[in-house]
Structure 1
């Protein structure tokens, strides 16, 4: 079974902001995309074996996903403290895939996400694109989509 993660994208107002931030990070030679978190997923292997993704929640909407490539220990915040647990880096694929905007309440940390709870990817419809994600979310909220 595929297993995913979901995470709030704090400090980002739009998907374009996240794209721009990641593009700047990848512009540094040898850079990789990752997100550091305090808690390690216990079900790492299920995420990796099934090709799981990290679903980003931006301003109350699941907006995009990135495939999880792996997990690694990040340097501790205070190297002088031998009792401090190392942070977990969630290694991410550079491909940021927009999803249909699904409403989501705020929470701390990350949560597991099953395929049935995950929004579908937005399918591009050629040069005209589709509706903007904000408009799609509004239509769904009003029961018109």
Structure 2
């Protein structure tokens, strides 16, 4: 079991499908073809995160999926500023939904606080509308 995870808002995504579409684009991939998310801050607890950790994505106010963290690469932007690229496993794993208020940047997430993965038989399901998912999560159904 992982020692630590990250949680991050998927800004601009209105569904898991739109996150998948974005990560399939050339702009979201590194030279190795793997999806990556570039951020200003480098995780101080990188070793714990890379010991089986994932990034949990908050889409439309709900944690809905995760991706395994493969490594962290240093990248320098056209502005000359060094940043951290979270290099991700291309497989997006759907999770049970959990409401999450907006926050800036990313946060560490303890494994005990992470939503459970959906069973493999439900991984190919379309996402529920955000309002319905939020209502069901609020009453503890999902």
Using the size of structure 1 for normalisation, the TM-score is 0.82
Give the superposed CA RMSD.
2.8
- 1:36 and 1:22 mapped to 2: Cα distance? 12
Deviation at 1:20, TM superposition (A): 1.4
1:103 lines up with 2:99 in the alignment: yes
Residue in 1 that maps onto 2:72: 71
Count of residues in Structure 1 that have an aligned counterpart in Structure 2: 139
Runs of at least 5 residues in structure 2 that lack an aligned partner in the other structure: none
Residue in 1 that maps onto 2:38: 36
Q: Tell me, what secondary structure is at the counterpart of 2:25?
A: helix
- 8 Å contact 1:101–1:133 — kept in the other structure? no
Deviation at 1:5, TM superposition (A): 0.4
- 8 Å contact 2:30–2:36 — kept in the other structure? no
- 8 Å contact 2:7–2:56 — kept in the other structure? yes
Residue in 2 that maps onto 1:92: 88
Shift in CA distance, 95/31, structure 1 to aligned 2, threshold 3 Å: same
1:132 lines up with 2:128 in the alignment: yes
Shift in CA distance, 100/71, structure 1 to aligned 2, threshold 3 Å: same
Q: Tell me, what secondary structure is at the counterpart of 1:125?
A: helix
- 2:112 and 2:33 mapped to 1: Cα distance? 33
Runs of at least 5 residues in structure 1 that lack an aligned partner in the other structure: none
Shift in CA distance, 93/78, structure 1 to aligned 2, threshold 3 Å: same
Aligned pairs (5 A) from 1:18-37: 18-25=19-26, 30-37=32-39
Is the deviation greater in 63-72 or in 117-126?
117-126
- 1:94 and 1:117 mapped to 2: Cα distance? 23
Residue in 1 that maps onto 2:60: 59
- 1:111 and 1:28 mapped to 2: Cα distance? 23
